[in-house]
Amino acid sequence: MATTTNYFFRDMGMMLGRTMRHMHRSMHTVTLITLLPIACMMLFLYVFGGALLALEGILMSLTTHPARK
């Protein structure tokens, strides 16, 4: 069991080092990995969130009754 754990951590360290070397060669991938989640979050927050707030405002105006005298 101890040798399996040793191989696991050794292989994981080797693959991590290899990935880091490849990332320095491909800066396009690094920017894509960092900017794409931020862009998707902004899209969902402002575009779809704004649409939901507008829909909520329309529904609230339809369901409220004017005050009676």
How many CB atoms lie under 10 A from the CB of residue 9?
Answer: 10
Please report the pLDDT score of residue 19 as a whole number.
81
Q: How far apart are CA 43 and CA 37, in angstroms?
A: 10
Quote the pTM value.
0.43
Residues of the chain with confidence (pLDDT) below 70: 1-2, 65-69
Please report the pLDDT score of residue 25 as a whole number.
75
Q: How far apart are CA 67 and CA 65, in angstroms?
A: 6
Q: For residue 63, what is the DSSP state?
A: H
Q: How far apart are CA 31 and CA 17, in angstroms?
A: 19
